[in-house]
Amino acid sequence: MRKHVLDSHAHTIASGHAYHTIQEMAQAAADKGLELLALTEHAMAMPGTCHEFYFLNLRVLPRTMCGIEVLFGTEANIMDYDGTLDMSERLLKRMDVVIASMHIPCVRPGTMAENTRAYIKAVENPLVNIIGHPDDGRYPVDYDELAAAAKEHHVLLELNNSSLNPEGSRTDPVPNDIKMLEACRKYGTQIIVNSDSHCAFDVGDHQFADRLIEETGFPEHLIVNRSVEEYKKYINRFTLLK
């Protein structure tokens, strides 16, 4: 099995529909041998998630716990086809890492052209680091355009393990992820494999994503999870300081 040293998409009880605490998630990541975990709570437009003040106060948390590095950021919601996010620029700048995703409660699925535009506008936002689960068939997207834009703007495309779970709620993830991986290979776009776990048991679980990587022969040098150092070239906490 492939060895990934980090997981950069997970939720705690703060997100409202996830079930474990920061410390429980960190301990689970440490127990699974990860070097780094990023906790990325749903931003404010997601029903039931935490208030803006939760994100404002993240500085009080240590970035090392249970013997591993733990970062704090958000999974922001793309709200329209102009790529508008539900978090101010001032607050986004304070996030260690920013994922931008499209979610049913926050944005109505558009045409392929509209969804592609929404994602590309998010990619062009210098405070966005990762596009979350762009494999959801409810939001069809042109993977060539997305992979080329992500490469140009130094943004990671996510291979989301939860999408690929047969019990998951997203539509047609396997054919969509195969198309996304083909496009990333063509344009040399880096991907990140994330669990998107909503409970401690799923932290660092990349089994379905790993299987697809094996089956497609996707090259290791385009997977940022190979090294914490490589990952840090893409996220706000380290790149904004430059």
Question: Under the rule (CB under 5 A), what is the footprint of Zn ion?
Answer: 75, 101, 132, 196
CA dihedral angle for residue 151, residue 155, residue 157, residue 158, rounded to 10 degrees:
160
Beta carbon nearer to Zn ion, 79 or 185: 79
Pairwise CA distance, residues 214 & 235, whole Å? 26
Q: Least Å distance between CB 242 and Zn ion?
A: 27
Look-up of token digits 């089994």: 207
Strand partners, 70: 37
Quick one: the chain helix, strand, coil %, rounded to 5?
Answer: 40, 15, 45
- Tell me the closest approach of the beta carbon of residue 65 to Zn ion, in angstroms: 21
Least CB distance to Zn ion at residue 133 (A) = 6
CB-side neighbour CA atoms (13 Å) of 174: 8
Query: How far apart are the C-alpha atoms of 139 and 116, rounded to whole Å?
Result: 9
Angle, nearest 10°, between helix axes 207-216 and 173-187? 60
- The Cα 85–Cα 45 span in angstroms is 9
Nearer to Zn ion, 140 or 148 (CB): 140
**Which residue number, 132 or 204, has a Cβ lying nearer to Zn ion?**
132
Nearer to Zn ion, 190 or 197 (CB): 197
Nearest approach, Cβ of residue 76 and Zn ion (Å): 10
Pick between residue 41 and residue 210 the one whose CB is nearest to Zn ion: 41
Check if the beta carbon of residue 132 is closer than 8 Å to that of residue 192: no
From CA 65, how far away is CA 176, in angstroms rounded? 36
Q: Minimum distance between the CB of residue 149 and Zn ion, rounded to whole angstroms?
A: 20
| Beta carbon nearer to Zn ion, 75 or 210 | 75
Q: How far is the CB of 14 from Zn ion (least distance, A)?
A: 12
